[in-house]
Amino acid sequence: MLGKEIMIGSVRFQSNVLMAPLAGYTCFPFRLMASKLGAGSAYTEMVSVDALKYDDRATEKLLYTDDREKLKCVQLLGSDPMLFEKAAKSERLAGFDVIDINMGCPVPNVIKSGEGCALLEDIPRASKIIEACKRSGKTVSVKCRIGMNPQKIVIEEFARMCEASGADMITVHGRTRNMMYDGEPLYEYIKLAKESVRIPVFANGGIDSKEKAFEMMEKTGADGVMLARYGFENPLIFSELTKRENGETKYSLIIGQLDIAGEIFDELYVLTYIKKLASYFMKKLPGTKQYKLDLYRCGSISQLRVLLGEIFGGK
């Protein structure tokens, strides 16, 4: 059943429909919107534990939060258990309730650094990372894939290791690393992970409609779903799946994002973010080619606001 509350460790999520962390998109304004629409949690963009050693502006933006965000969840990337522990216990993350560990990113540069999906092939190190994060006293979740390729599917062993190491939840992307973001998820392996552990298991991958979300639940027996790119194309999916009435439209949502982002971030960041989000919102709308050209020519927030009215007004 989708839409129900669920306990993850010591933290109550308002629903079992979650928003995945996505670089360049799950900034503070988007997380607020997803939660308002019914998402049980929305994680920050991926934050490198190495970058946390430095007080750089980029990381500050990734970690921005305030009291409007009731449940605060951060995703960390890295390969050094000591750096994970230091980050998890740091003042920078003191306000966050949940730490998610990225063990599923398939990008080549991440893999070369021994991070993300590479940890599927280094289970002892992955275990130490989870244990290190748990020593912070926070709720800890893990996002992973089912294996590196069809010949190296390790999800059963990996899920059991996560539970034994102290993880409070696992999100399984039902594809191997070599599948990247294409192809039908391998539902049977998400189901295998669910049957291998007692902690909550969430299913991720290929959910691009309400029907796909229900199919994922039916085929895997998962405790909930985590949406990714479709959450940007149609954030109203959170309300649809959780049966939460909101009266929002794509226009009201995008203007709301513009207003919140404008309160917090500089104009260049706001323009970049809203243009990217609007491009997702425009998918399947007629006349998008010309609108996209107009969108990327916008050089100020005031121009952007007018154009957003032309594109999404009444939608």
Task: Say which CATH number the domain at 28 has.
Answer: 3.20.20.70
Residues 96 and 154 in one domain: yes
> What is the reported pLDDT for 57?
75
The bridge status of strand 43-48 relative to strand 17-19 is unpaired
Query: In the chain, what's the furthest Cα-to-Cα distance?
Result: 54
275, part of any domain: yes
Q: Is the same domain home to 221 and 263?
A: no
In a domain? residue 95: yes
- Do both 224 and 262 map to the same domain? no
Q: How many domains does the chain have?
A: 2
Whether residues 219 and 302 share a domain: the answer is no
pLDDT tens string, the chain, 315 residues long: the values are 899 999 999 999 999 999 999 988 999 999 999 999 999 999 999 999 998 887 777 888 999 999 999 999 999 999 999 999 999 999 999 999 999 999 999 999 999 999 999 999 999 999 999 999 999 999 999 999 999 999 999 999 999 999 999 999 999 999 999 999 999 999 999 999 999 999 999 999 999 999 999 999 999 999 999 999 999 999 999 999 999 888 899 999 999 999 999 999 999 999 999 999 999 998 877 777 888 888 889 889 999 999 999 888 755
CB 156 within 8 A of CB 149: no
Q: Is residue 291 part of a domain?
A: yes
- Together in a domain, 228 and 113: yes
**Contact call for residues 84 and 101 (beta carbons, < 8 A):** yes
Residue ending a domain, choose from 218, 242, 266: 242
Residues 55 and 203 in one domain: yes
Residue 117 and residue 60 share a domain? yes
* Same domain, yes or no: 185 and 285: no
Residue closest to 52 by CA, chosen among 26, 25, 29, 78: 78
For residue 108, what are the contacts with CB-CB under 8 A and spacing of at least 6? none
Token pair for residue 128? Answer: 């130490």
Both tokens of 250, joined, read 């794509």
In this prediction the pTM is 0.94
Catalytic residues: 105
In a domain, 211, yes or no: yes
Last residue of a domain, one of 242, 266, 299: 242
What's the pLDDT at 58?
81
Residue 209 lies in a domain: yes
DSSP symbols for 87-119? HHTSGGGTT-SEEEEEE----HHHHHTT-GGGG
Within 10 Å of residue 249's Cβ, how many Cβ atoms? 14
Residue 1 in any domain: the answer is no
Choosing from 180, 212, 242, the residue where a domain stops is: 242
Same domain, 45 and 160: yes
pLDDT confidence of residue 89:
96
Domain that holds residue 303: 250-312
Counting runs of H as helices and runs of E as strands, what totals does the chain give?
A: 14, 10
**Is residue 238 located within the same domain as residue 257?**
no
DSSP letters of 47-94? EETTGGGS--HHHHHHH---TT-SS-EEEEE-S-HHHHHHHHTSGGGT
Asked whether residue 266 falls in the same domain as residue 155, the answer is no
Q: Is residue 267 situated within a structural domain?
A: yes
- Could you tell me if 111 and 254 lie in one domain? no
